[in-house]
Structure 1
Amino acid sequence: MARKHISSGSEFEALVGYSRAVVDGDFVFVSGTTGYDYSNMTISDDVVEQADQCLKNIQQALVEAGSDMADVVRVTYILPNRDDFQPCWPVLEKWLGRVRPAATMYEARLMNDEMKIEIQVTAKKTHENRR
């Protein structure tokens, strides 16, 4: 199977040289994804709303790749303020609670101060989702 690149349409992909996601064999690797709503290029001030939007953006990339959140095997959370992580737990449980992927959380500065969370995932495509 040839490598497939998934784009969100963000100008940063071309400027930096990356893809929103890459499909390679049975795996989908989704880049660190922030809480921008690409339909109107806005970002909420609220970390919980940003977390939910991150996961909506990730879901969209996974579907385009022929996968789904149910296929996520690894997730990494990056937050500039570790105290913001716990308020996000209900949103993370909503999206990934049944899947229960391996997970790591880092505290680190993000590209812009308005970004309060960035999430990246790896998914293994199931037999039903292989395209």
Structure 2
Amino acid sequence: MGSRMRTVNSGSMFEREFGYSRAVRLGPLVCVSGCTAAGLTGADTQDMAVQTAEAMRRAGEAMEQLGATWADVVRTRFFVTDIEAWQAVGAVHKKFLGDARPATSIVEVRKLVLPELLVEVEVDAYLP
């Protein structure tokens, strides 16, 4: 299986520590590991929408390196530290996905790997 699998790595310390790839493509399936806004700088870094947009941007970049686009997405998963911000997450999701309507989940978690992170997103795409 490994020889047919293509991977994308961002070089993050988490990938090295855990031994995973940012994204994997095996045949028509593209799976993007949890993306966050880790390392994001600026005045609005504690804003759920800002972090969601950055995480989605990173996921999209990884997908593109494996030949997928947002139009190919069949599932998204969101892990948020404050479920009350679901509308902000949803608005960013809709902006990235446009008319596509993938299956999705949003789950509140106690915390993410770094205390400043508010949201993590996973993306699965299928290339027919």
TM-score > 0.5 by shorter chain? yes
Read off the aligned partner of 1:15 and give its amino acid letter.
Answer: E
Deviations 1:25-60 (A, max 9, x none): 100000011023xxxx32511110000001110110
Q: 5+ residue gaps in structure 1?
A: 127-131
Aligned length: 122
Q: Which residue of 1 aligns with 2:40?
A: 42
Read off the aligned partner of 2:127 and give its amino acid letter.
Answer: K
Q: Which residue of 2 aligns with 1:73?
A: 74
Distance 1:7 1:115 in 2: 20
Shift of 1:7: 0.5
Deviations 1:68-123 (A, max 9, x none): 11100000010011112212222111011311100111111211121100000100
Read off the aligned partner of 1:88 and give its amino acid letter.
Answer: V
Q: C-alpha root-mean-square deviation of aligned residues, in Å?
A: 1.3
Distance 2:125 2:37 in 1: 20
Report sequence identity in percent: 33
Calculate the TM-score normalised by the size of structure 1. 0.87
Read off the aligned partner of 1:59 and give its amino acid letter.
Answer: G
Q: Which residue of 2 aligns with 1:20?
A: 22
Q: Which residue of 1 aligns with 2:125?
A: 123
